[in-house]
A and B are shown apart, each in its own frame.
Chain A
């Protein structure tokens, strides 16, 4: 799971450099998020601009990551591609996450 991370304005921004978070990579995704968030505090922003496809296993892994981070370290999403946004919308998970930069707004504006 190729991920990049940097601190922007006190928030940890994790960019997922993969085209898919699916049943074949969901566990790896969850482990990678756990690794890069092991230290630090404050909100975490997951930039999914490179991710074209997310299935229900991938969605479950994103939810699991949010639960793992706990209430004091909110996991927010940025730059969902249309296919990924559709899965969040259909499952109503878009009501659970703060989502930045949907529909063309950039992550720079989001953070």
Chain B
């Protein structure tokens, strides 16, 4: 049985439509490593470069938000990312045991109007806007003391 940390196993599992599961440290470096593993795991899907770009942006932003907001500076925590290929899309789930989303729902991700004054340009607040642009079916649930985010990334 291929283990879920074996790169070959993950790639094969993805092709067969079985879920890939990656657990990483909830740190910026952990997120980086998880994205590299996800890239290898999706290799067997023969995705175009644009599809992988979308997956990488969405998973990075979701996981970075978990590091920065759900865990808010804790460095002893972990994030679980699972995904499975479906026709035309990648179905994804992330789980963490950090703080709940404010108001119990995923942010709308509204892009603020860009100021024409240099000093007023935003340096943040792009993350959820990018996620919303590149996903469909975003569902947030608080299950016991854990956060669970379900979403799909269109691949076409």
Please report A residues at the B interface, Cβ cutoff 8 Å.
Answer: 20, 22-24, 53, 55-57, 59-61, 63-64, 66-67, 70-71, 82-83, 86-87, 90-93, 95-96
Contacts and interface: CB of A to CB of B under 8 A. Distances in A.
A95 B121 contact: no
Interface residues of B, number: 29
B64 A55 contact: yes
Contacts of A23: 28, 31, 60, 64, 67-68
Contacts, number: 76
B80 interface: no
A90 B130 contact: yes
Contact of B50 (A64, A82, A96): A82
Task: Determine the main DSSP class of A at the interface with B.
Answer: helix
A83 B53 contact: yes
Nearest to A54: B57
B4 interface: no
